[in-house]
């Protein structure tokens, strides 16, 4: 079925709205959906009336449509131009059952038809508002008792009514209230028209001028009874409208009852939710405590890690310092500096002497004596120390209130001493004590190694000096020699000097250097020295002796080389015969104080795979002259060549007065060496041999 209305004024709009509600009810549209439909339609009608013009409302329920069980409503403008500017409004609601269509032949008078659904709806509106207030109170506070709210009266003013905004989301009770309250403006307009119709019915002769607009408040208890004198069809229409409104009101009340059940359900759900929230809070509290404990554990772990890093750093730095020196006295001196004040207030290192005497020269705590005897760390204090791997002892009689930690310095044979520490505070952390015990073990190894090295170095130096013979006394010739081992190593090497007489009375002086350093070079130096003395017995010049020595070394040790200078003095001749094999040239000071190097072409190194004949050189040597023979360790520096070193030696030999050379040749040798060796450490052995011709020899 399809019905249409052309609407151009308020009365037509009200009739169309009422007809829509009746048709929707006839076709079984639920009350809630029906109320929503009429409310939305009323809003659209008010907007259309505001724009003016004629509008066409169409209600369609037909089996031929795509949705046969639905009521389709459309509102379009009759004017094509207005229709193009304003798109049509459409709405669709579902029909539960296909009821008999409304008889459109019935045509009650216009006033009765308009009044049917309006006069009885005000009471429904009041009841709905009361229920709405109760629903809102329950929604905001489900725990509060549902006392009945006060009754309310509603007055609708056409100029003050605002259209319902159907796009705003709300609950079902709020939507019902909006639908009912939105009709107030239509009611006011229709009631004005109704008053005009009643006046015409009682006085047909009266002018049909429109009555002034007014506001009407409809209440069921204030409705006057129907006058039987009025036409019965109008009364019947009013009664039918009232009855029809009661049915809608009953349906709305049923819907409100359902809302109450829903509110009760939500209240119970809220209670359960609150219980869940309480449980959640308990879980959150437990999680918070666990998190705080985890943070505390993390802080403790970080602190322990930082302390461990600090201990490892101290152990590494201390080990580096201990192993950087081979002087045990320096190690003992630096050990307390590494521990005070972070790990100890004071540190005492008690070392046993080399003969095994364990009696300390000064009083020591009894715990230190026990540690030396047992080889175990001892703690002496007012109370137990509780340190891992440490035995507790009574307090020290020297200071009963001061805790002491006595750690033996172990070696493979027996402890070489005891390390005694006083705590930096009240005591030691167990981990710090473990670190100190390990540090004492490393210090013991470093001290033991340094002592062993010093012992071997002393032996090597003694052997080296034993190989260097005493200088012979020769009339008219003074000799002075100095040998200084390198500052690193065993103080033994391949440098040597020698002086001896040949059978003809000549004095042979020699200075040489075997390549390399250490014990092997010293052994080869000793063999060369012995071979040279053997060759000199047969006579021969310095060049001849060096040539024979070259052949000897080449066959004895093909991969070992040496350098040497041999000078021969003959008492009856004021001349010097000399020869060099790969060695720095001799430096000669004449009686007038001038100094120069004897840099005639020397021979090659001894032992190289080359056949050579080393030549002799002769120079005049008047009384008062001084000849300096030396090894390369005296004049050679890593950052410089050998020539600047020879120049420095010549300058040092030029400085002493002639009388000083005559009176104190040994002291002059020391004074020559001091400026040459003060600027750097000795990386190589050094030999210096001074030969001075006495001035009174003439």
Residue 407: which CATH number?
Answer: 3.30.450.40
Note the residue count of the chain.
698
Confidence of residue 143 (pLDDT cuts 50, 70, 90): low
Q: Between 415 and 116, where is the model more confident?
A: 415
Specify if 137 maps to a domain: no
Hey, what are 606's tokens? 């001894």
pLDDT exceeds 60 at position 212 = no
Q: What's the pLDDT at 485?
A: 78
pLDDT digits (tens, 9 = 90+) for 81-91: 888 778 889 99
CA pair distance 631, 641, nearest whole angstrom: 14
Lowest model confidence (mean pLDDT) among 92-106, 138-152, 324-338:
138-152
Q: In what order do the strands lie in the sheet with 595-597?
A: 477-484, 686-693, 626-630, 587-589, 595-597
pLDDT exceeds 50 at position 126 = no
Q: What's the pLDDT at 214?
A: 37
Same structural domain, 449 and 585: no
Hey, what are 434's tokens? 């473990």
Task: Please calculate the CA angle 691-692-694 and round it to the nearest 5 degrees.
Answer: 145
Specify if 373 maps to a domain: yes
Q: Which domain holds residue 581?
A: 468-697
Q: What's the pLDDT at 562?
A: 94
Query: How many angstroms separate the Cα of 279 from the Cα of each of 47, 75, 265, 276, 284?
Result: 53, 56, 21, 5, 9
Residue 473 has a CB neighbour count (10 Å cut-off) of 8
CA pair distance 61, 101, nearest whole angstrom: 9
DSSP of 175-186: HHHHHHHTTHHH
Confidence of residue 116 (pLDDT cuts 50, 70, 90): very low
**Helix, strand or coil for residue 118?**
helix
**Helix, strand or coil for residue 43?**
helix
Q: Are 100 and 31 in contact (CB under 8 A)?
A: no
Q: Between 502 and 680, where is the model more confident?
A: 502
Most distant CA atoms of the chain, gap in Å: 187
CA pair distance 301, 395, nearest whole angstrom: 34
pLDDT exceeds 50 at position 188 = no
Same structural domain, 474 and 432: no
Same structural domain, 437 and 475: no
Number of domains in the chain: 3
Specify if 156 maps to a domain: no
Q: Mean per-residue pLDDT for 111-124? A: 44
Name which of 130, 153, 166 is nearest 38 in CA terms: 166
Q: Are 461 and 489 in contact (CB under 8 A)?
A: no
Specify if 356 maps to a domain: yes
The residue from 90, 107, 124 where one domain ends is: 107
Helices 184-202 and 110-119, packing angle to 10 deg: 140
Q: What's the pLDDT at 149?
A: 44
Half-sphere exposure of 550 (CA within 13 A, CB side): 25
Q: Mean per-residue pLDDT for 654-682? A: 84
Specify if 248 maps to a domain: no
Query: How many angstroms separate the Cα of 126 from the Cα of each of 192, 393, 597?
Result: 22, 98, 135
Question: Across-strand partners of 587?
Answer: 597, 628
pLDDT digits (tens, 9 = 90+) for 226-250: 444 444 455 455 545 544 555 565 6
Hey, what are 423's tokens? 């705590």
pLDDT exceeds 50 at position 355 = no
Residue 20 has a CB neighbour count (10 Å cut-off) of 24
Confidence of residue 437 (pLDDT cuts 50, 70, 90): very high
Q: What's the pLDDT at 694?
A: 86
Same structural domain, 384 and 527: no
Q: Among all chains, which residue has been given the structure tokens 């031929």?
A: 64
pLDDT exceeds 50 at position 124 = no
The residue from 442, 460, 478 where one domain ends is: 460
Lowest model confidence (mean pLDDT) among 27-41, 168-182, 316-330, 380-394:
168-182
CA pair distance 108, 691, nearest whole angstrom: 161
What average pLDDT does the structure give for the chain? 77
Name which of 153, 172, 24 is nearest 95 in CA terms: 24
The residue from 460, 495, 514 where one domain ends is: 460
CA pair distance 244, 602, nearest whole angstrom: 145
Same structural domain, 581 and 617: yes
Helix/strand/coil percentages in the chain, nearest 5: 45, 15, 35
Same structural domain, 447 and 509: no
**Helix, strand or coil for residue 113?**
helix
Of 112-116, 353-357, 463-467, 584-588, highest mean pLDDT: 584-588
Same structural domain, 508 and 397: no
Query: How many angstroms separate the Cα of 19 from the Cα of each of 37, 74, 241, 498?
Result: 12, 14, 12, 146
Interacting residues of 154 by C-beta distance below 8 A, sequence separation 6+: 122, 125, 126, 129, 181, 184, 217
Same structural domain, 454 and 474: no
CA pair distance 268, 266, nearest whole angstrom: 5
Residue 456 has a CB neighbour count (10 Å cut-off) of 14
Same structural domain, 448 and 490: no
Q: Phi then psi for 371, rounded to 5 degrees?
A: -65, -40
Q: Are 535 and 502 in contact (CB under 8 A)?
A: no
Confidence of residue 257 (pLDDT cuts 50, 70, 90): confident
CA pair distance 297, 291, nearest whole angstrom: 10
Q: Between 444 and 523, where is the model more confident?
A: 444
In the chain, the percentage of residues whose pLDDT exceeds 90 is 25
Same structural domain, 569 and 642: yes
Q: Mean per-residue pLDDT for 582-586? A: 94
**Helix, strand or coil for residue 307?**
helix
Same structural domain, 449 and 527: no
Confidence of residue 585 (pLDDT cuts 50, 70, 90): very high
Half-sphere exposure of 9 (CA within 13 A, CB side): 4
Q: What's the pLDDT at 244?
A: 53
The CATH number of the domain where 521 resides is what? 3.60.40.10
Query: How many angstroms separate the Cα of 403 from the Cα of each of 311, 336, 365, 391, 434?
Result: 21, 17, 11, 13, 17
Specify if 602 maps to a domain: yes
**DSSP 8-state secondary structure symbol assigned to residue 30:** -
Same structural domain, 475 and 570: yes
CA pair distance 496, 226, nearest whole angstrom: 154
Q: Are 139 and 263 in contact (CB under 8 A)?
A: yes
Name which of 519, 500, 394, 400 is nearest 456 in CA terms: 519
**DSSP 8-state secondary structure symbol assigned to residue 394:** P
In the chain, the percentage of residues whose pLDDT exceeds 70 is 73
Q: Mean per-residue pLDDT for 257-269? A: 85
Specify if 550 maps to a domain: yes
Of 28-37, 81-90, 452-461, 544-553, highest mean pLDDT: 544-553
Specify if 331 maps to a domain: yes
The CATH number of the domain where 53 resides is what? 3.30.565
Burial class (CB in 10 A: 0-12, 13-18, 19+), 559: exposed
Q: Are 576 and 617 in contact (CB under 8 A)?
A: no
pLDDT exceeds 70 at position 587 = yes
Q: Are 683 and 655 in contact (CB under 8 A)?
A: no
Residue 355 has a CB neighbour count (10 Å cut-off) of 5
Q: Among all chains, which residue has been given the structure tokens 């100890």?
A: 344
Task: Please calculate the CA angle 21-25-29 and round it to the nearest 5 degrees.
Answer: 105
pLDDT exceeds 90 at position 626 = yes
pLDDT exceeds 80 at position 162 = no
For 624-645, letters b (16+ CB in 10 Å) and e give bbbbbbbbbbbbbeeeeeeeeb
Characterise 155 by phi-psi region: left (phi > 0), alpha (psi -120 to 50), beta (else). Answer: beta
């Amino acid at each position: 079925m399809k019905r249409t209305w052309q609407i151009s004024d308020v009365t037509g709009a009200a009739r169309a709205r009422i007809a829509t509600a009746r048709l929707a009810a006839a076709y079984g549209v639920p009350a809630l959906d029906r109320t929503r439909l009429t409310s939305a339609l009323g809003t659209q009608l008010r907007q259309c009336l505001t724009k003016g013009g004629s509008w066409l409302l169409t209600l369609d329920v037909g089996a031929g449509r795509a949705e046969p069980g639905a009521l389709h409503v459309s509102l379009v403008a009759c004017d094509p131009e207005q229709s193009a500017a304003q798109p049509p409004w459409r709405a669709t609601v579902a029909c539960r059952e296909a009821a008999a269509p409304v008889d459109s032949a019935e045509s009650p008078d216009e006033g009765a038809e308009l009044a049917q659904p309006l006069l009885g709806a005000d009471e429904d509106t009041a009841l709905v508002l009361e229920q709405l207030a109760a629903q809102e109170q329950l929604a905001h506070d489900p725990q509060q008792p549902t006392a009945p709210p006060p009754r309310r009266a509603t007055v609708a003013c056409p100029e003050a009514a605002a259209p319902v905004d159907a796009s705003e989301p709300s609950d079902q009770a709020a939507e019902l209230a909006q639908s009912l309250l939105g009709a107030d403006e239509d009611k006011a307009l229709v009631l004005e028209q109704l008053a005009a119709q009643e006046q015409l019915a009682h006085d047909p002769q009266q002018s049909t001028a429109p009555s002034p607009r007014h506001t009407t408040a409809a209440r069921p208890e204030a409705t006057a009874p129907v006058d039987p004198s009025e036409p019965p069809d109008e009364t019947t229409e009013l009664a039918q409208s009232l009855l029809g409104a009661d049915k809608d009101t009953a349906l709305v009340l049923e819907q409100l009852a359902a809302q109450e059940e829903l509110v009760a359900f939500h209240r119970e759900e809220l209670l359960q939710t609150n219980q869940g929230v309480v449980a959640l809070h308990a879980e959150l509290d437990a999680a918070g405590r666990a998190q705080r404990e985890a943070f505390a554990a993390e802080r403790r772990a970080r602190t322990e890690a930082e302390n461990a890093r600090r201990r490892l750093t101290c152990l590494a730095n201390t080990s580096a310092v201990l192993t950087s020196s081979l002087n045990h006295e320096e190690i003992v001196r630096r050990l307390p500096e590494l521990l005070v004040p972070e790990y100890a207030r004071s540190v005492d290192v008690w070392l046993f002497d080399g003969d095994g005497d364990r009696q300390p020269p000064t009083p020591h705590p009894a715990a230190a004596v026990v540690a030396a005897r047992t080889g175990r760390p001892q703690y002496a204090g007012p109370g137990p120390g509780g340190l891992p791997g440490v035995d507790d002892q009574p307090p020290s009689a020297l200071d009963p209130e001061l805790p002491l930690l006595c750690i033996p310095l172990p070696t493979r044979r027996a402890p070489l001493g005891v390390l005694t520490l006083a705590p930096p505070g009240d005591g030691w952390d167990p981990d710090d004590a473990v670190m100190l015990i390990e540090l004492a073990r490393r210090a013991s190894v470093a001290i033991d190694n340094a002592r062993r090295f010093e012992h071997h170095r002393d032996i090597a130096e003694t052997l080296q000096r034993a190989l260097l013979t005493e200088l012979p006394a020769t009339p008219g010739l003074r000799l002075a020699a100095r040998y200084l081992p390198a500052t690193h190593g065993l103080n033994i090497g391949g440098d040597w000097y020698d002086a001896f007489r040949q059978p003809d009375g000549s004095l042979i002086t020699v200075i040489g250097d075997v390549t390399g350093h250490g014990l092997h070079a010293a052994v080869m130096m000793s063999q060369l020295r012995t071979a040279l003395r053997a060759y000199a017995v047969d006579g021969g010049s310095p060049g001849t002796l060096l040539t024979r020595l070259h052949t000897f070394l080449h066959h004895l040790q093909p991969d070992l080389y040496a350098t040497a200078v041999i000078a021969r003095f003959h008492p009856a001749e004021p001349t010097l015969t000399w020869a060099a094999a790969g060695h720095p040239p001799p430096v000669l000071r004449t009686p007038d104080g001038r100094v120069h190097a004897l840099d005639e072409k020397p021979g090659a190194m001894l032992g190289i795979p080359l056949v050579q004949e080393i030549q002799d050189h002769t120079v005049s040597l008047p009384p008062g002259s001084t000849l300096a023979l030396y090894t390369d360790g005296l004049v050679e520096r890593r950052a410089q060549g050998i020539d600047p070193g020879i120049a420095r030696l010549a300058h040092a030999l030029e400085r002493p007065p002639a009388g000083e050379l005559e009176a104190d040749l040994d002291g002059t040798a020391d004074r020559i060496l001091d400026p040459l060796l003060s600027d750097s450490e000795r990386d190589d052995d050094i030999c210096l041999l001074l030969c001075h011709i006495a001035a009174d020899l003439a």
